[in-house]
Structures are given as C-alpha cells and as structure tokens.
Amino acid sequence: MPAGPARTTDVAALALDYGERLIVGSARDVHRAVSARAFKATHVIGGHVPESLHDAVVTSVYGAISGVLRISSGSVRALAGRGVGRPVEDGPRGRRVVAAINGLIGDGCGCSMTRTPSRWPCVSRGPTSPRPPGRSPTPFATRPAIR
C-alpha cells in the first residue's frame, strides 16, 4: 500500500480494478445466462457441440479482457508507487472523488482491517475540532425528530 497520499494514478488503478470486477463480470454473467437459454433449443438439433464451442470462445474473450484490465491496473499502481500523479486531495474536486470512492466502496477500500486486494489508501481525518455552540453539523436547517 502506498505510504503517501492517494494519487490520481491510484484512482485510475482503482477504476480499472472495479471496472474489471463489475462491468466485465456482469457482462460475462448476463452473456452466460442468455446463451444458456438460447442453446436449450440447439440441444435437440445439434447436441452440445455448438454450446461448447461458443463457451470456449466466450471464456477466452472475457478472460483476455479481464487480463488486460488487471495488467493495466497493476502497471498504473506501479506508477502510483513511484509517485507519478498528483495527490488527489489537493483540491475540492479531489476530496469529492475520495468521498465518492469511500461511499461507493466503503470497507472494501483496502484498509488494513479488511485485507482486501485493492490498494486504495483509506482516508482518516483524525479528531475533528468542536463546533461552536448552536451550530448545525450540516449546512442544512435541521428539525427535531417527530415523536
């Protein structure tokens, strides 16, 4: 895990990791489900040969796409380890990106407690300063709960 702050290359590597997991994985699963239904009709006519041929081609294609994304993610992560890329939290846009990643991925962001394969450095803000009395913790007006 990188010792310094999260960099833009870390964000790119994380996007490649989750793109491979979510997009390619979902497309592969949907393709398998649709093809299984379509090949039920061919079992009567051609047996299992067309389905086996199709499954072999599709497995190799999805495996190649997945492998390219994994290799790309590893390469981008190696660049991040060398300090390539700007720190993400330098500006408000970067802080929004970190907040969105922490909100979407949550505990799977690579904290030492979860031991997930992702190397996204978790962000710890530390203790916060106390609010002045009478101030709302959010910029929105709050009302007491209805009982």
Over the stretch 42-95, which tens digit does the pLDDT of each residue have? 887 778 888 889 999 999 999 999 999 999 999 998 998 888 888 887 888 888
**H helices present in the chain, as ranges:** 8-18, 25-45, 49-81, 92-105
Decide: helix, strand or coil at residue 147: coil
Determine contact, residues 1/61, Cβ cutoff 8 Å. Answer: no
Over the stretch 126-145, which tens digit does the pLDDT of each residue have? 444 455 555 555 555 555 55
Largest CA distance in the chain: 78
**pTM to 2 decimal places:** 0.64
Q: Identify the bridge partners of residue 87 per DSSP, sorted by sequence position.
A: 7
Backbone angles phi, psi at 17, to 5 degrees: -60, -55
Domain ranges of the chain: 8-86
